[in-house]
Amino acid sequence: MQKALVIKSAVTLGLVLALAVPLGMVDQLVGERAARQRAVVTEIAASSAGAQMVLGPVLVLPYTQAYTESYWADEPVEGGTRRTRRTREVKAEGKTLIMPRQVQMTFSGDTALKRRGLFKALVYELNGVIEGHFQIPAAPEVQGRREGARITWGQAYLSLGITDTRGIARAPVLDWGGTEHGFEQGTMLGKAAPKGIHAELPGLALAQPASSASDASREIAFRIALGFRGTASVGFVPLAESTRIALASTWPHPSFQGRFLPNADSQRVSADGFSAVWEVSGLATEAPAALRAQVAADRPCGSGCADWLGVRFIEPVNVYSMADRALKYGILFIGLSFAAFFLFELIKSLRIHPAQYLLVGLALALFFLLLLSLSEHVAFALAYAVATLACVGLQGVYLSSVLGSRRRGLAFAVLLAVLFGALYGLLISEDIALLMGSTLLFGLLALAMVLTRNLDWYALEPRRG
């Protein structure tokens, strides 16, 4: 193997590694722009309404439990103390939570883009109803009831958790057994779910807790008319024994999330929007038990109430994630281009200076910067096409002189165009990206082997002149 060939190979490899620096700078810029995009989404959510999570509804029955408690006390006597049995009256407050027997939620709405400069956030507005019924026992259970305790029921109310009440579009109305009630701020559930609304139910009278089988329960129907706005996503926590949620929107790119997916036969996604239906049994979720425990302990209902479902309104093409994915192939592109140069040198006995290698590599690196900047103003596909035409055209004109022939320059430009086309296929076909990438690399290796099959590597000697 000629010494000059080894040196040229080492120099070429060094140039490939050196060009990782401008690629890294472009990658850093992509990260900065993506971070700014996320910051804009947060700012828009902070000034309007963020991602929404709807919890409930749930019927809350506050009570006061009064009972007599005996205890030992140290009583001073002559020469010391004496333990004496005493009694005292104790009052303890608590809440009994009753979950609906059946709930049906039906919401539909539109989406819109809010912009701040080049950056944008997707917001939505949903309108609909929450309806169903509660089965209310004549004597509700009291957790930890003391023997002989006297229970005094307070004002009952219906709570509905909403993550960001600023998004409530208009005053919601509760129809409770044929009687309308207005809502007030706060869920009155303490730290478990502080954000939301509640409606007092003054006509709901309750008896003392009892265990008699003759106690008759009541079934009360309810209906809540609700409209709310949010950003990026919406979710629901199912608390009923049977929950059915029907959701429709004009946004055509939903991403279903959470612990429960919609019924497979109910999903409809088209260019006009999507619709989906969830059906969740109370036997399939631990959210009601978790909410009761957290309300009793007055702790935030975080991971314990994680049995939720919902949808995220996503952009089909995120220009920053696509640019980031494209950059991951940057070194590969430069390496393949340099390998093609190297083969031209070997087969055609050309002399290509390292500076010319460097200029071609920089042009390829600038492709990714062009792609990023253009995609912030036009559709990603158009930005990719314009950046490809600019890069391929520049390389074709330049290499026509470097390779000593317009035909060779055009052939190299066509090769680059094929590589860029393959990269675009990798970007838009994430599910088969590995298959496409491995097939492309195998094809290029096979082409190199075919072109050099008759080459006598030991007899190579660069042309002088």
Dump pLDDT digits (tens) for 252-272.
888 898 889 899 888 898 888
**Mean pLDDT value of segment 431-459:** 68
- Return the ∠ at Cα 194 (arms to 154 and 305), rounded to 5°: 105
| C-alpha to C-alpha distance for 163 and 320, rounded to whole angstroms | 29
> Above pLDDT 90, what percent of the chain?
14
Residue 406 lies inside a defined structural domain of this protein: yes
Query: So what's the pLDDT on residue 76?
Result: 76
The answer to whether the CB of 414 falls within 8 A of the CB of 337 is no
What kind and span of H or E run contains 312?
strand 309-313
Residue 168 lies inside a defined structural domain of this protein: yes
Dump pLDDT digits (tens) for 63-82.
887 777 676 777 777 767 77
Query: So what's the pLDDT on residue 420?
Result: 81
Domain boundary among 255, 282, 313: 313
Query: So what's the pLDDT on residue 205?
Result: 65
Report the chain's mean pLDDT, rounded to a whole number: 80
Residue 400 lies inside a defined structural domain of this protein: yes
Residue 429 confidence (pLDDT) above 60: yes
Q: Whole domain around residue 327: which residue ranges?
A: 3-38+319-459
Same domain, 214 and 101: yes
Same domain, 324 and 302: no
139 Cβ contact list (under 8 Å, min separation 6): 206, 207, 208, 209, 210, 212, 215
| C-alpha to C-alpha distance for 271 and 251, rounded to whole angstroms | 8
Same domain, 222 and 130: yes
Q: How confident is the model at residue 459 (pLDDT cuts 50, 70, 90)?
A: low
What is the tally of structural domains in the chain? Answer: 2
Which has more confidence, 193 or 12?
193
**Mean pLDDT value of segment 90-96:** 79
Match 């103003």 to its residue by tokens. 377
Task: Tell me the three-class secondary structure of 141-192, residue by residue.
Answer: CCCCCCCCCEEEECCCEEEEEECCHHHECCCCEEEECCEEEECEECCCCHHH
Q: How confident is the model at residue 287 (pLDDT cuts 50, 70, 90)?
A: confident
Query: So what's the pLDDT on residue 213?
Result: 45
Residue 75 lies inside a defined structural domain of this protein: no
Same domain, 58 and 190: yes
Same domain, 198 and 237: yes
Dump pLDDT digits (tens) for 151-180.
778 888 999 999 888 888 888 999 998 888
Domain boundary among 259, 293, 313: 313
Same domain, 200 and 218: yes
Residue 78 lies inside a defined structural domain of this protein: no
Q: What is the DSSP-derived secondary structure letter of residue 205?
A: -
DSSP 382-440: HHHHHHHHHHHHHHHHHHHHHTT-HHHHHHHHHHHHHHHHHHHHHHH-GGGHHHHHHHH
The structure tokens listed for 222 are: 């309810």
Query: So what's the pLDDT on residue 210?
Result: 47
Same domain, 260 and 380: no
Dump pLDDT digits (tens) for 199-245.
988 867 665 554 444 456 788 999 999 999 888 889 999 999 999 99
Same domain, 213 and 273: yes
The backbone torsions φ and ψ at residue 114, rounded to the nearest 5 degrees and listed phi first, read -105, 130
Query: So what's the pLDDT on residue 115?
Result: 72
Same domain, 284 and 142: yes
Residue 185 lies inside a defined structural domain of this protein: yes
Same domain, 303 and 386: no
Dump pLDDT digits (tens) for 110-135.
888 777 766 777 888 899 999 999 98
For 6, 53, 301, 310, the CA distances from 287, given in Å and listed in that order, are 68, 14, 9, 15
The answer to whether the CB of 305 falls within 8 A of the CB of 55 is yes
The structure tokens listed for 77 are: 């006597």
Residue 206 lies inside a defined structural domain of this protein: yes
Same domain, 161 and 226: yes
Dump pLDDT digits (tens) for 331-347.
777 777 777 777 776 66
Domain boundary among 292, 313, 334: 313
Residue 198 lies inside a defined structural domain of this protein: yes
